[in-house]
Every structure is written in C-alpha cells, then in structure tokens.
Structure 1
Amino acid sequence: MKYALRLLPCVVALAIVLAFRSGNETASSWIRINQLGYTTQGIKAAVWCSKQTAPIDVFELVDASTKQVAYKGSAGRAFGAYGPFLQSHRLDFSSFVKPGRYFLRAGKAESPEFTIGDDVYKGSADFCLRYMRQQRSGYNPFLKDSCHTRDGYTLYGPMKDSTYVDATGGWHDASDYLQYTTTSANATYHLLAAYRDFPGVFGDTKTWNGLDGKNGVADVLDEAKWGLDWLNKMNPKEGWMFNQLGDDRDHKMMRIPKEDTNYYGRGIERPLYFVTGKPQVRGKFMNATTGVASTAGKFASSFALAAELYAKKDPAYAKMLLTKADAALKAGIEKPGVAQTASVLSPYIYAEDNWQDDMELGAAAMASAGKTLGIKQNFNSGQLTGMAYNYAQQEPLTPWLGTDTAKHYQWYPFVNVGHYELARQLKGKQRDTVIAYYKTGIEKVWAKATTNAFYRAIPFIWCSNNLTVSFATQCFWYRELTGDTRYTALEQANIDWLFGCNPWGTSMVYGLPSWGDTPVDPHSAFTHLKQYPIDGGLVDGPVYTAIYNGLIGIRLTREDSYAPFQSDLAVYHDDYGDYSTNEPTMDGTASLIYLLAAKEADAKKKQALKPAATAPLNTNMVRSHGAVIRGDSTRREIALVFTGDEFGDGLSTIINTMNKQAVKGSFFLTGRFYNTSSFREPIRQLYREGHYMGPHSNDHLLYCDWTKRDSLLITRSTYIHDLNKNLDAMRAAGIPDASYRYFIPPYEWWNDAVAKWSNESGIRLFCFTPGTTSNADYTYPEMGNSYKSSETILNNIKRINETRPGKLNGMVLLIHAGTDPRRTDKLYNKLDELISYLKKNGYSFKTIDKLIGE
C-alpha cells in the first residue's frame, strides 16, 4: 500500500510511498476496505484475500482507540481464487452500526483503520470538482492562466474548410487536451443532474471562473455552466453541430496546457470537426460514423435539463437552450446513427456504437423541460415521452452489462440515463417496463458478481472505473425508483472497489481520501512535469492483462510497487508510463461526482431516520412492548408475513400462489432455515422475485418467560450473537444485503428489553396482529383445544371483516412456511382463497417495510 502525504512535494511523497509498499512484501494475506469508511446504516463489507489456500472461519472488528473487539462475525463462504489470490472471503459487518474508528482482523491480517459514521462521504463530491476546474480550457483557474485561445478551424462542415469558429472553453478530456462533445455533454448532464437531485450537498466557495470566492451559486452549477457554455459554442446555430476539437496529433508530447504548440500547422489553432453523419479520417482508416443522433441526443439532453434548471433564474436563457435542444433532437431524428470521433495517427478513438439511449434521454429531458417552461416546440410533452419510450424499447439494456468485454467507449454513456429520466415521468405499466430494463441489466451483472468475494463483474476494459461508477449509479437509480434494496450490496461493492476494496488495495481517485492509499504518479503532465496535485481525478482503472500487453507505447518508469497483486486476469499500475490504467478522465470524474453526491445525500437521509424508539410515532399504528404489531389502521392494507424454522413444506405452494396473485410477501426465516440445503433454491427464488427477506433469529431462542414476560431467559450478548449468525446465514444463502432493518422475534414472544436491544442495533422489531388466529396454523390435532383448523382460521378472518368493518386494516397476517407433519390440514393450501377474498374486499398487499415503515 501507499499513503500519500499531500503536504509534501510529490517526489518526496512518492519516495515515502514506495518505501512503505516494499515493507509489505512478506505478507501473505490482506484485508481490503473502503478507505473512505462506511455509513452506519449502510452495507459494510471488506474482503480478506490470501496467497494461501486455507480459508478462515471468523473475523473481528476492533475499536481502534481501545483495541477491544467490538464485533465478531463469521467469515462466511470461502470464495476461492480471484486474480492474484488463492483464497478469499467477504467479511460483512453491516449489522454493526456504532459510529467510531475501527480496524478488521482476520487470521494474521489486519486492515488499515477506517471510520463508521454518517459523514464519511461528506465533501467528497465537492473535492472531485477540483479536478473538473483543473481541466478547464480557455481560462484555467488552477494555473491562473489561459490556454487554447485560438480554437478553432473547421473541417468537414458546410462552410469553407478552415473557417474560424469560436470554440474556446470547455474541459480537456483527459491528460491530453482534446475535447469532445460526446464526453463533455455527458459530463455536463451529470453535473446538472447532481445539482438538481442533491442541491444540499454542494458548497459555494468559487466564483463562476473557478477562483476563490462566493457568487451565490453552488460550485457544481458553476462547473456545469462552464461545460454548457462550450456546448453552446459547439452548436452555434441550428444545423451546425461540432463533435470534436483537436485530434491525436496533440499526443506528441506531454506539456502543461498553457504551453500551446503548432501541432496542426496553423499556429495554436486546432481543428474543429463538424458532425456530418458520414465517416471521417481515422489515420489509414475511416471511422464508422453512421449518423448524427448520438451527438444530437447529447446536445438535446444537456440543453433541456439546463433549461429546466434555469427556468426561474434566467427565463430568456432557458428559452434559448430549449430551442437549441428542440433543433438538436430534430436533427437526430432526421439522421439516426452514431457519430464517432476521428483520429489521425493512432487507431484509438471513441468508437461509440449506440445512439438510441442518447435520443431517449434527449426526448425525456425535453418532455420534462417543456412542461416546466410551457414553451411550444416541434413536439409536445406527450409526443416526447412517447418518443423516449420508443427509443427505450430499442435499447432496453446497455449492451456491455453482463458481458466480459467491449471496445473502447463502444457503449457510451456506460449507463442508460434515459431510463431513469423517463421512469421519473411515466406511470403504470410503461414505467414498470422501463424500470425492469434496469433490473434485468443489474441481474446480468449480479449473476457473475456472486462468484467472487469482491462482487466484481465489470469487464476490465479500458476505463473500467468509469463503467464501475456508471453501474453503481444504475443500481442507485433502480433503488430510488423502486425502493427495492436487494441490490444494495452490489451497488456498494462497486463503490467500495473504487476506494480500496480491490486486489491492489488502493483508491482510484487521486487524493481521496487524503490519508489513504491513492494514486500519486498518474499519467498526467500536471503531476509528472510540475508535481501539481490533480485532486479528485478518477483514473482509468485496471485492464485485462491481455489488453495491457497489446497496447502501444506503454513502458513503466519504475519498479512496480503493486507487483504482488498483478495477475493473469488484470493489472493496475500507479505509474506515469501506464496510460491505460492510471490516466484520469474528465467524464469519469463528472459521473463520480454525481455518485458521491448521491452517497452523501443518502447518508444524510438515513441519519435523519431516528431509531424506532425515538422516531415520531404514527398514531394510527399499534404497538406492544416496543414492537409494531399493526400498520396504519386507516388504510385497507395487509402484510402477509411467513416465518420458518425447521419446516418449509409449503414453500413451493406459497411461491406459486403469490406469483398467481401478483402479490409480494415478507419472509422471516431462522438461520437454521436459511442453512437447510433443500430450502436454498426456493429462498433464492423468493429473493429474485422481490419478496422481502428477513431474520427470525438463528436458533429460534425463547427470549423471555411465557408466564413472567419481564423475566429474560437470554443476555443482550446472546441476542446479538444469535441475530448476527442469522444474518450470516442469509448472506451465505445468497442474500448479501441482509434485511436487518426489520425483525420478527422467535416464537413471536419478546419484551421491552428485547425491543430496546433491537432499537439500539438499528433494527425495527415487529410482530403479527393478534385476533385472526392465522398464527395458529402450526397447531395439530394432538394439541387438543389449541388446535385450529385452516377452515376455522379462514372463517375467523372473514367474520372479522364482515362484522367489524376496518378491523383488518393494517393487519400483519402471520402464516408459517411449513408445519409439523402431524398437521395435514395446511393453511398455505388456502392462501389463494384467502388472498382472493381480501382483494375482493378492497385490500391491497404490502411488504412489511412498506406497511410499517415510518
């Protein structure tokens, strides 16, 4: 590992870093963590990895100040070999919620210290804005100087070649100084969306030109406006769209951007490539351009979202932007297809092959903006929404999802933003269809991710970190649109990867965190020539070793400090000489800014959710001994809750009935149940199909005396240990985001002390609603008067509904997933009849988190 000291000159820091790394060569096992830290209510996981084959059984979370063990957990499943490692385990400590400083210990390995708290992402999005400002062309606030002031002269346009058109401004694309509409529009959109979706996250410490000061505008919006102004110049009038400024002749040598050179034979002017819809120069070859829609759609979406955001602040400006968006979308409709970038000397271009996603986003953004501004366009909002939905159907999945490889920027942007923007506007079946596209893509990745401890299934192609950010964002958007948390662990694993939970143990963002192992020798003129920090820049990330070995002109400049962690699978080098894995990119960083803003806002939102014991009470809910036992009694809603310990004979019947009735239930199962091999596939099916999965204790302990309820039969530590084992069993069964927010006690018997323990652990205790006798479906005839037949239970529910109107409102109906063989009359066989009856009487069905969530 390397820990860069940012207050030292970079050369000295690099020497210290390399010395630190070399001292770790004798280790054979490591624990990889998210160096930024973990939020209290979020997924918390690390990866233990070893050069030995022996697995481990347990791990410990240690308080860094007291050196006392704060939590002990099962190491769970041994995932085996991955990359340079022969053995690996995923260490999940999500159920531990106490803020503080900690480190992990497993076997002979110890992790670096990290924080658990709700402010671990605070300021991270603003930090990455530093890199965006440093990438500015025209006036550069970091250098306090100007560059590329004579851009540019036209090529391929309807005007005479070499006509001067003002194209100054914008951002340099990466460590070279080329500029593309493709990446700049995507970056601009992400920054605008970050401001729209998370305005409270960003500060105001800079003026419009990037210099210190306040101007009453969030810095992220200032930065978006810088990109927007350049896009405006690249689309100076209707019918004129430019795709690229400069080309790879720029790559002859590294230099600070203000040192403009005569690489193009026209002084410091650079070529400006017009969007023609036809192939353009690519060295010995031509690119594979087929149309203009990919670029036109990106213009349209950025202009439209900006128009919506500026509607009140500057109506005239907003109207101009929406007019431009309208014209751009029209151009894309007239000339469908992709507009690829051009290259003169090398074979490397942005070979984008898809365009329907860009047009979907453009149409969706315009539909939203049109409603806000109320301005007449070529298309009304209804037509635009329909158009966007049509494009969504043409590219339901971003094609790289679930695949092992793709060409460089072949499927760009790497996430279909249009699905999110469209789903925000749609209702009903169409909305469900678009959201399902996200889910299908996530499932394709998830199917591969579960095979390794890092939950890694992003292809190691060039700019793999950009794909990682985009996929995590897709998971976040799916969760926001649906409330479905089943992929939260996968979402978080991709974020953790970026900040150190990867085979190399390094963050992929320069300087973030400041105390961590982050890049110090990126492929950048700023750091290489002037030792300037490039704070917040997201580097490209690891690539397949086969790709690395085939690239032109790569030569490491020093001994590889990550040599023990390179493998036949993938490589990453923190070395100036490796432009494939260690070059920062502007568009990747902009996408990361959105994701980090989402994480900070998410943590704030969860922080605001107080523990159940102190949360404002919904007076329409019913509670007993600290647990909710009934939802809102004013709503005709019911939760079907199924519990299971030793018997699971009803699983297949229950699954078939729930599918037939299109109803989601809540399943709370013991660790013994989750660990039973014959139940594994039905459990996974329930999870895949969106039912709520939760814990029911590991060993089905009796917490308190049956006759003296205040008399505890267990200790707090026994309760916590047993519950953690239940959560471990859930993860081992393929449910990584163990649903510890809600918990039904074993035997459905508890007291106030148990409820207090639950609340302190961040868990909502609940139980069934008394009165229906549905919970008596476990009884059998040999129990005498305690036995309740299924017919009796069903008639009792009907009687309550018919004689006491509203009494079933908010009910938690408990049914067992299986019963003793001595009960041959199974209530689950009447589940179809029960659901049909309740539906006929106007009841809807909610999962438990929706019924009692506050």
Structure 2
Amino acid sequence: MKLFFSVFLFVSQIIFVNCHTSISDAIYIRTNQVGFLPEELKTAVILSKTNLQNKPFYILENNSNKIKFEGSVKDSPSVYGNFNFCYEIDFSSLSSIGKYRIKLSDTESYPFQIGNSIFNNVRDSLSLFFKTQRCGPTNPILHQPCHLSDASKIIGYTDSTARDLTGGWHDAGDYVKFLKTTAYTTYLLLFSYEFDSKKFGYDLDKNNVPDILEEAKVGLDWLLRCNVDNKTLVSQLQNESDHNIGWRLPENDSLQFNRPAFVSLGKNTIGIYSAALALASRIWNEKSYDNEFASNCLKTAEKFYALRNSVQDIDTTFSYHYPEKYFNGKLALASIELYNSTKSEKYLKDAVMFGEKAESDYWWSVGDINSLAHYKIAQHNQDFVKYIYLNLKHSKNKSSESFLREGLEYSWGTTNTFLGVSLQTILYKKLTGSKEFDSLNIFQIDYILGRNPWGICFIYNIGSDFSKNLHSQVAFFNNGYLPGALTAGPAPANLLKEYKIQRMNQSYNEFNSDEVKYFDDRMDYITNEPTIVGNATALFVFGYFSN
C-alpha cells in the first residue's frame, strides 16, 4: 500500500582505525540471533570479500569470553552479491546451555543462546501481533476500537444496504479485510491448538481460556458475519481508496462511513471457509465452551460446502490481492474437517478424491496449502504422506543449492513461504517420526532469525538487529512499535522493479544482490509489510519449538 510521510535519516560514517583496515577486509557473521535448542543443528554463514579458508573461528561464552568451541573455515567459498567468499560453519556439537558469540579474526557475531525455552518469547510476541490487527469492538492494542460502521454497503448483492461486518483483523499495514486471509489465519490458529494443545494452550492473560482460541474467535465471529444469505460470502471489505488518503490510526479513518463490502464465491473460498468453521465446531464442542456456537459453525460449514459444484472454480478478491490458481487442496481440507466433525463417510470419500487431485503443490502461500489437507487425510490413509514428502524433497534439493539453505524461491511474502516449508517438515515428522527433514526445518527458522545476508531478524523486537521500519500505520503512530510483526522479507529484484517505491532507507543495500533485495523502509510494502497470514504461519512453527 502506498502511504506518504516524512522520515529523518541518520547517516553513519565508517571510521578506519588504521591503514590495514578497509571495506574489502570486512567480515560479516550471520547466525540465528535467538539461538538453538541444545541438541539441534547449529550453523552460521560468513560473508567476506577476502579468502578465509582454513581461518580459525571460536565460540565464546558471552560473559566470561572463554572459548567453548573452536573450528576452522573449511568449505569451498560460495559467491553472493558483493561477496566472493561466503562460507558455512557448523558448531552443532556445542550443546551446553548458555549465551555465546562467534568470533572470527576481529569480528564477532551478535550474541545467541542455547537453551530449552529460547523460543517462548518469540511465540508470545507473535501471538500479541494479532491484537494490534484487531478491528471493531474487539479489545485491540496500540489503537482504539475502530471501523464500527463496517460495512457501509454491499456491492454485488441484490440488497446493497449496510450490514454488520465489524470485527476481524486488518489484513496487513492497511485497513482492508479479506475473507481468504482471515479464514487462513483463523484455521491455522485452530490447527495449531489441535496439533498440540499443551504447547498452544498458553494463557498469558490468565483467564482460563487459551490465548490462541481467544484470538481465533475474533476471526470466527467475522467469518460468520460474512455469510450474507447462506448462498454467498463477503470476500473483501474496503477497496483501494484505503491506500490513497495518507497515514492514520484506524479510529481516525476518514473513510469509516465509506467502507463497502464485496460479495463473491468460489470453490477455493468455500474450501478454506468451511474448513475453519468445521474445525472450530469440533474444538468448541470438545471443550464445551459454547455448544450453540459450535453448532452454528458446523451448519454454516456444511451449507457452503454443499454449494461447491454450483460456483466458479476460483474466486478472486475485488482488488485482485492474493491471486490463486487451484482449489482442490482447499476443498480437500474442508471435506476432511467435515468428516472429522461429523464422521459422515461421504466427506471422507470427497477428501480422498480432492486430495488426490490436489497432489503436491511444491509451494506455500495463502493459496497453496495442500499439505494441511494431506496431513489430515493421512491420519486415515497413509498414502497421502507421499504428497508432503514430495514437497519437502523438492525443498531439500532447493536448499542444497545455496549456502543460505533457502527451501523455496524468493517471492512476495518470502518469510511466510520459508516458514511454510518448516511447517510441512513438522507435519511430516508427526506422521512418520522421520528426522529426514529436520535440518531443512532449522535452516528456514535460522534464516528468519538472522542467518541471512542482511544479518537481520525479520520479526520485530526479536534478536539484536531486527526490522524496525515496518510498513504499518499502527506501528508508525506508536514510534515503530509493533510486537511480533513478521515482515514479508526479501523479494526478487525483478519483482521490485515492477513497482515504483520511493525508499529512503538504504542501510542494508550493501547486502542486496542483483537477484534478491530487502529494504527496512516504511514505504516498502513488498519487503517490509507484516500480514496476519505470515504471522499465523510463524506462530505455528515457533510455537512448536517452544517449551
């Protein structure tokens, strides 16, 4: 989204200490700034413009400076951007709990920890982000209740009068709400709790209800309001005009009485919508929270699933955000959740049919989530494990091509895609017990937390150096503060060329390459905007590693 504001830049100078120090001598050590579980893989990457082969490196205890591990740079160098000598170092055998730094020549890394509970703070922070995105009278943080007149009118429906569509979450740094991203987010919050109710049953506000279910209820209430007449759904609320009136807090939105809703329906939206509601019905029934609410969720899910053969294949949002190509995976997810909630064999039969048609998608995004369906179906039919395996085999092969170990290609939403790889490794391990893709998993989360060319953690306020200039209006009016916000991350240079973004912060430009770039800039809605989708994926992954 395009917003305008002023920003002051502070330009720092590099002071050369002596005649032997030059920019060409610079060494950059990049590693996970949060740290590692004691028995997990532990690596870092080194970027240099000079040959470092056979140079020694040391792992120092942070407080005492005692050497706890030593090794040497052994790998043949890789080339990245401005750096012709890039290496990967491994110190996995260091397992003692503590706080450490890596030292090579006169360069040291940011400190990191080895411990069993190091990801708890990441999980809690990611969870808090959703409260900043809340819309309507839903007890948000960092802003007041907002958009209390949603929606001013409905476009594409015979009765165009106003309708109560308050609540839910703002999708990203703007104030638009989408059905597909809300349904994805809601489903993944519920999925996380069902996957491991102990790890995801945390109750930070101590009201005896798991925080993740409280947050999912925000999404569920809005999804139910999007049901216009049991025949069509509100797929989007607000349009591009939201992007054209400047930065403001949501309660000060001058468009609050001009926020139209748009209706449409497709097999893809039916799939993720019905899946979220069917799963919610089961959890609310089993926990005895609200049986009437559970019944409403299930009835609504079944009604819309029954419409699947009478609607278009792919429903796109009014503003063409989050384009999709496929629907079978989402219908498979809906049918398996309906089977799990009703035990009706017709749904299991449909799940197998749609799941086979979906096959492996070799990707992860809001529209490419086949592995969620295959995971659920595989609990009844082990043949479906192969589809997740093929996805991960593809990612592992991709990862082996680079010292950075990226599991998939860069895109708009790279961090969500990489964490989607991690998510799938967790599902596969749960189904099979295999550790084949453990390293692939660790490489993706390490990348997010600082093992990347920029040496930055892409989650706000996590690690020593993190994305600070988020493309978020709420953050801007709170001095940049937006707890747990996961930025979209680096993107292909060719993609960035298609958009005219007037950036003012070039502080990480030295680490950009001709192929991939990242900018910690508030104007950059491609690389530096957080979304509810990305945070939902991240919450599952880091919640899984929490203790």
Q: State TM-score, norm by structure 1.
A: 0.59
Q: 2:442 aligns with which of 492, 506, 515?
A: 492
Look up the match of 2:130.
Answer: 132
Contact in 2 for aligned 1:128/1:536 (Cα 8 Å): yes
Q: 1:323 aligns with which of 270, 281, 299?
A: 299
Change (3 A) 1:457 1:310: closer
Which one has a bigger Cα radius of gyration? 1
**Residue 254, structure 1, aligned to residue 269, structure 2:** no
**Residue 363, structure 1, aligned to residue 335, structure 2:** yes
Tell me by how many angstroms 1:542 deviates: 0.4
2: CA distance between counterparts of 1:52 and 1:74?
Answer: 15
**Residue 580, structure 1, aligned to residue 535, structure 2:** no
Tell me by how many angstroms 1:85 deviates: 2.4
Q: How does 1:226-305 map to 2 (within 5 A)?
A: 226-252=218-244, 253-262=246-255, 268-276=257-265, 292-305=266-279
**Residue 156, structure 1, aligned to residue 130, structure 2:** no
Task: For residue 273 of structure 1, give the secondary structure of its aligned residue in structure 2.
Answer: strand
Q: How does 1:648-797 map to 2 (within 5 A)?
A: none
1: CA distance between counterparts of 2:15 and 2:511?
Answer: 13
Which amino acid counterpart does residue 203 of structure 2 have in structure 1? D
Contact in 2 for aligned 1:137/1:146 (Cα 8 Å): yes
Contact in 2 for aligned 1:138/1:147 (Cα 8 Å): yes
Look up the match of 1:561.
Answer: 507
Contact in 2 for aligned 1:465/1:540 (Cα 8 Å): yes
1: CA distance between counterparts of 2:484 and 2:57?
Answer: 33
Q: How does 1:461-476 map to 2 (within 5 A)?
A: 461-476=411-426
Tell me by how many angstroms 1:441 deviates: 1.2
Tell me by how many angstroms 1:532 deviates: 4.9
Contact in 1 for aligned 2:363/2:391 (Cα 8 Å): no
Change (3 A) 1:399 1:413: same
Q: How does 1:193-212 map to 2 (within 5 A)?
A: 193-201=191-199, 202-206=201-205
Contact in 1 for aligned 2:360/2:370 (Cα 8 Å): no
Look up the match of 2:3.
Answer: none
Q: Which runs of 5+ in 1 are unaligned?
A: 1-10, 207-213, 277-291, 372-379, 402-408, 605-854
Contact in 1 for aligned 2:407/2:444 (Cα 8 Å): no
Tell me by how many angstroms 1:437 deviates: 0.9
**Residue 217, structure 1, aligned to residue 206, structure 2:** no
Look up the match of 1:393.
Answer: 356
Which amino acid counterpart does residue 460 of structure 2 have in structure 1? Y
Contact in 2 for aligned 1:32/1:503 (Cα 8 Å): yes
Which amino acid counterpart does residue 348 of structure 2 have in structure 1? T
Task: For residue 83 of structure 2, give the secondary structure of its aligned residue in structure 1.
Answer: coil
Look up the match of 1:505.
Answer: 455
1: CA distance between counterparts of 2:509 and 2:370?
Answer: 32
Which amino acid counterpart does residue 557 of structure 1 have in structure 2? M
1:534-569 CA distance string (max 9 Å, x none): 1101111101112112213x01124x1112111102
Q: Which runs of 5+ in 2 are unaligned?
A: 1-6
Tell me by how many angstroms 1:198 deviates: 3.0
Task: For residue 307 of structure 2, give the secondary structure of its aligned residue in structure 1.
Answer: helix
Q: How does 1:47-446 map to 2 (within 5 A)?
A: 47-56=45-54, 58-139=56-137, 140-143=139-142, 145-152=144-151, 153-157=153-157, 159-160=158-159, 162-201=160-199, 202-206=201-205, 214-252=206-244, 253-262=246-255, 268-276=257-265, 292-312=266-286, 313=288, 314-335=290-311, 337-343=313-319, 349-371=321-343, 380=344, 382-400=345-363, 412-413=367-368, 416-424=371-379, 426-427=380-381, 431=382, 433-446=383-396
Tell me by how many angstroms 1:584 deviates: 1.0
How many residue pairs were aligned?
A: 530
1:603-659 CA distance string (max 9 Å, x none): x4xxxxxxxxxxxxxxxxxxxxxxxxxxxxxxxxxxxxxxxxxxxxxxxxxxxxxxx
Look up the match of 1:700.
Answer: none
Contact in 2 for aligned 1:414/1:466 (Cα 8 Å): no
Q: 2:433 aligns with which of 464, 468, 483?
A: 483
Which amino acid counterpart does residue 504 of structure 2 have in structure 1? T
2: CA distance between counterparts of 1:216 and 1:594?
Answer: 21
Contact in 1 for aligned 2:470/2:480 (Cα 8 Å): no
Contact in 2 for aligned 1:83/1:503 (Cα 8 Å): no
2: CA distance between counterparts of 1:261 and 1:62?
Answer: 55
2: CA distance between counterparts of 1:144 and 1:585?
Answer: 17
User: What RMSD, in angstroms, separates the aligned Cα atoms of the two structures?
Assistant: 2.3
1: CA distance between counterparts of 2:240 and 2:298?
Answer: 33
Higher RCO (Cα < 8 Å, 6 or more apart): 2
1:386-412 CA distance string (max 9 Å, x none): 2112111112112447xxxxxxx6x71
1: CA distance between counterparts of 2:348 and 2:512?
Answer: 48
Q: State TM-score, norm by structure 2.
A: 0.91
Q: 1:534 aligns with which of 482, 507, 513?
A: 482
1: CA distance between counterparts of 2:14 and 2:410?
Answer: 24
Contact in 1 for aligned 2:132/2:474 (Cα 8 Å): no
Change (3 A) 1:389 1:59: farther
Which amino acid counterpart does residue 472 of structure 2 have in structure 1? S
Task: For residue 300 of structure 1, give the secondary structure of its aligned residue in structure 2.
Answer: helix
Contact in 1 for aligned 2:398/2:408 (Cα 8 Å): no
Contact in 2 for aligned 1:103/1:113 (Cα 8 Å): yes
Change (3 A) 1:99 1:25: farther
